[in-house]
Structure 1
Amino acid sequence: MIEKTIWDQERKAMQDIHRELTGGDLDAWNYRMYEPVSATGTLSPEGSEKFTNYKDKWEKAHHYVESNEDRMLSRCWNNLPESSPLRIAGTDQFYLMWTRQTRNRQALVSIDAACEIIHSIILADHFNETGFEPKSERFGVYKEHVAWLMRGAEPHYVENWSRDYVKCKNNARNSDQILLEIISVYDVLSANCIDDDWTQIPNATSIRDYICDQNNERSDDPQLLSDVFWEEKMRAASMFIPLIY
């Protein structure tokens, strides 16, 4: 079985479908909606240089998020037996169901903050507080996969799935609240950005300041005062959001 490592074709296929249905690009579904932009001719030479430098850093951060997702998709796909309904449906369907662009990424963060559990991208909605949307296509695909497991899938795969299920269940009970808050604040600050003002795109400093301001009652908490603590959390968050820190 040939291992899959690249998802560019599937990503493009989903973008084409979205464009055909809506007439627009996928910007609102991924982090390109937060891509730093600047109106031509409005910046001084010094400002233009700063903008170019910042955008280069942002592109690297965006690529890091995308490559991390590709790695997780590949690990899960490459571990699926040939008889799995998920594999039979093909890579386009698999990408459409489990990419971050069509789901609540906080559900994934809460069960696999380190992005190390092979089946976490499939199990994330199962352990999310709101669960699967009952009428969603993703829930139908998930139920079909579980039914296939119950009918007697390959023993070694059932063992791997069960192990990951337990890991995700345990992590969901003790999820990293600060990490979840970082990602939530990133979305809040991004939504409040003024058009064409790249300086307002949230970064590690603005997110940290926002969280600390919202937690005045914990202002003397040694963790919230520790630069090492925040650097560790921001590094973890950068696997899910294009964060410059």
Structure 2
Amino acid sequence: MQPLRRKGVIAAVVGLGLGAMSAAPAWALAPGTTVGPAGHAYTASLVGGTTAKFVVGSTTVTCNQSGNTGQVPEAPGNTAADGPVSSALTPATFSNNGGNCPTNVLFTTAKTVSNNTNGDWTIALQYDPAGSTGTMTIPTAGVVTTISGLASCTVTVAPDGPASVSGPWVDGTGTTPPVLDFSAGVSLPIRVTGGLTCPTGATTATFSASYAVTDTTDAAQQITVTDGTVAPPE
């Protein structure tokens, strides 16, 4: 059983529903997290043979290239006693063979540009013995997709404030890197502008992708998410 400690980030979300409870049962507490190796840089890119898909209404944008880069915090910042370890990411890139991404609408393509104008992109990695997770946060208006061709539309992700998506963190093996998996599909708030053929009534989009995370400081090592529990003093 994990030692008793505060629920960290989770407490901010569920605390309002706990009423006057003085303490949550130990099984509900968030484990600590250590991300390693401390200080190592990494690249996240699509798992080989997969694509990133962005679905707005009946329109699907498919890109065969997507990724970003980051760095594990230096010690001791790479360990959190009761929650996730967070760090900044570069804005994600999206393309198809280096160019615009195709859509399922004839003679229509999409160009996606990401930015950090209104804040950082971040990743929060949370250890859990039942399955660790990663939560990526996109800053306000951090992704803008322009659809051109038979339709001319602009789709802005997170138009009114930062938006976060979460997926399983799949540990690497001796031959494969770890994966941050959004393949089940995650919902993102959007705003669509454009002509009559644009889905201007859509307020959410579904994003799906799986990213392999590769240690670029030392190719012989892997980025890991492990238990960061701090033992109480004796």
Q: Do the structures match in fold with TM over 0.5?
A: no
TM-score range, shorter chain: under 0.3
TM-score (normalizing by structure 2): 0.22
Structure of higher RCO (CA pairs closer than 8 Å, 6+ residues apart): 1
Q: TM-score, normalised by structure 1?
A: 0.21
